[in-house]
Amino acid sequence: MALSINNPMPQPAVYSNPAQSETKPHTVPTAAHDLAENLESEEAPVGQLLKFLQSSDEMSALASQFANRRLFDKKGESLSDGFERVLEEDAIPKAKSLLKVASVKEESLVNLLLYARSMFPDDSDLIMVLRELLRHKLSETLKKRLKALLDEVVAQANPRESKAGINCALKARLFSQKYLGLKPSLLRSSYRRYLQNEQHAIEDYKDWIACYGYQYRGVVLDFIKAALLTDIDSQDPSCSKLEFGDLIGKLSQVKLIRSGDELFIKKLMNNNTMAALNKSEPEWLMLFFSLLEYPEEIGNHLHILLGDRFMLTYHRERSAILQLLFQACKSLPHGLFHSAESAFRLLRDLQSFASIAYKHELIEDRIK
């Protein structure tokens, strides 16, 4: 996917967090905690990553929230989320229309399925709609038709995609309500892609920027993290424990990229010397990715970003810019690079450039 990082970001709306108004969470073991214990007992690296993720305050809060919800479900007070997990627009009117068509006895199951899919193209939405309709008081004949329709939809659906879509739907809706520029169905698709693809973590991060705009990169990461924990803790998770372990490992790498991104951008954007170059955050972000993926091409990266102006500046200014870049790159964890050698080579090249610029600066000062 081509990287486009200039999408405008609408202002987020202010909504209260439903989790904050709930009663004090019960510390009950959840599926996420069970997974952590199983993986950690084997001393697997993935287990250590999961332990790290769950140790953070926000992850613990989410785990407590869903543990509390599970207790609530066990009491029989919340057996269904109704249409909250259905992300198709105008879901209730469409469901009523589907129910009306299903009531026509002459309509074949094939035609009924075609009509249902025209109303709800996404399998997760259609499955949840049919489950919700079956909870209502209907004639036995109608219930049998809807049950047969549900069985057919489930049989034809991709199990991982449909389960993942159902399990992350509430989180997708909540994030889209807080950040009005995010469509819940698009967030759901991003979570499914995260589960399915085997690309490097940096490619996931770049895909999110291309899809949502650079301003939303942190928000989308938070959503993926919340959706993954929700999926793990669900009654019908989309993946096996081993698969979740791998996904958590990749998530930890994406979080590392995000941390490096924040360090790098902050050091450059908050400096007056760099500000004088009139480079935007997306431009520095592109440099960040280029340095991580092709650190040996540092000279070309700087030429592409700064152009001939950089070569024509006074040596003092050029030296200061290179020193700042060196410090920014030095702050990056070596785990972000393909190898420790790549990181050392980048720093060595930048230090060499800075030393040459400094020597010319001294000569320049003597001439003055």
User: Could you tell me if 102 and 63 lie in one domain?
Assistant: no
Average pLDDT over residues 289-316: 82
DSSP, collapsed to helix, strand or coil, labels residue 234 as coil
Q: Is the model's pLDDT at 361 over the cut of 80?
A: no
Q: What is the pLDDT of residue 319?
A: 83
User: Could you tell me if 291 and 345 lie in one domain?
Assistant: yes
User: Could you tell me if 233 and 190 lie in one domain?
Assistant: yes
Question: 318 lies in a domain?
Answer: yes
Question: 314 lies in a domain?
Answer: yes
Nearest to 247 by CA among 201, 202, 283: 201
Q: 25 pLDDT band (50/70/90 cuts)? A: very low
Question: 338 lies in a domain?
Answer: yes
Min mean pLDDT across 49-63, 81-95, 265-279, 349-363 is at 49-63
Question: 13 lies in a domain?
Answer: no
User: Could you tell me if 242 and 350 lie in one domain?
Assistant: no
**Of all residues in the chain, what percent carry a pLDDT higher than 70?**
73
User: Could you tell me if 45 and 71 lie in one domain?
Assistant: yes
Is residue 247 within 8 A of residue 195, CB to CB? The reply is: yes
CB count, 10 Å around CB of 4?
Answer: 12
Our count of domains for the chain comes to 3
Q: 45 pLDDT band (50/70/90 cuts)? A: very low
Question: 53 lies in a domain?
Answer: yes
| Residue-range definition of the domain harbouring residue 146 | 91-157
286: domain CATH number?
Answer: 1.20.1280
DSSP code string of 81-124? -TTTT--STTHHHHHHHHHHHHT-TTS-HHHHHHHHHHH--SHH
Which residues fall within 8 angstroms of residue 267, CB to CB, at 6 or more apart? 324, 327, 328, 331
Average pLDDT over residues 218-229: 98
User: Could you tell me if 235 and 292 lie in one domain?
Assistant: no
Of residues 14 and 87, the one with the higher pLDDT is 87
Q: Is the model's pLDDT at 19 over the cut of 60?
A: no
CA contacts within 13 A on the Cβ side of 220: 29
- Domain final residue pick, 107, 126, 157: 157
187: domain CATH number?
Answer: 1.10.150.630
User: Could you tell me if 124 and 247 lie in one domain?
Assistant: no
User: Could you tell me if 284 and 221 lie in one domain?
Assistant: no
Q: H helices then E strands: how many in the chain?
A: 17, 0
Highest mean pLDDT among 11-20, 66-75, 158-167, 300-309: 158-167
Q: 14 pLDDT band (50/70/90 cuts)? A: very low
- Domain final residue pick, 157, 183, 199: 157
Q: How far apart are alpha carbons 222 and 225 in whole angstroms?
A: 5
DSSP code at position 296: G
Q: What is the pLDDT of residue 345?
A: 93
Average pLDDT over residues 244-254: 96
User: Could you tell me if 147 and 169 lie in one domain?
Assistant: no
Q: How far apart are alpha carbons 252 and 52 in whole angstroms?
A: 9
**Angle in degrees, 0-180, between the axes of helices 241-269 and 31-41, rounded to the nearest 10:** 90
Average pLDDT over residues 14-28: 39
Question: 325 lies in a domain?
Answer: yes
Is residue 138 within 8 A of residue 108, CB to CB? The reply is: no
Question: 1 lies in a domain?
Answer: no
- Domain final residue pick, 225, 255, 285: 255
Q: Please report, for residues 44, 183, 294, 320, the alpha-carbon distance to residue 300 in angstroms, rounded to integers and kept in the order given.
A: 40, 38, 10, 19
Average pLDDT over residues 90-118: 93
Q: What is the pLDDT of residue 89?
A: 94
pTM: 0.76
Q: Is the model's pLDDT at 211 over the cut of 80?
A: yes
pLDDT of 107-149, one tens digit each? 899 999 999 999 999 999 999 999 999 999 999 999 999 999 9
User: Could you tell me if 63 and 43 lie in one domain?
Assistant: yes
Which residues fall within 8 angstroms of residue 96, CB to CB, at 6 or more apart? none
Q: How far apart are alpha carbons 181 and 96 in whole angstroms?
A: 29
Q: How far apart are alpha carbons 12 and 333 in whole angstroms?
A: 31
Q: How far apart are alpha carbons 334 and 256 in whole angstroms?
A: 10
What is the torsional sign of CA 49, 54, 58, 63?
positive
Question: 185 lies in a domain?
Answer: yes
User: Could you tell me if 277 and 312 lie in one domain?
Assistant: yes
Phi-psi region of 237 (alpha: psi -120 to 50; beta: other; left: phi over 0): beta
User: Could you tell me if 363 and 275 lie in one domain?
Assistant: yes
Q: 309 pLDDT band (50/70/90 cuts)? A: low
Q: How far apart are alpha carbons 342 and 49 in whole angstroms?
A: 24
Q: Is the model's pLDDT at 8 over the cut of 80?
A: no
Phi-psi region of 295 (alpha: psi -120 to 50; beta: other; left: phi over 0): alpha
What is the torsional sign of CA 48, 231, 175, 117?
positive
Q: What is the pLDDT of residue 365?
A: 61
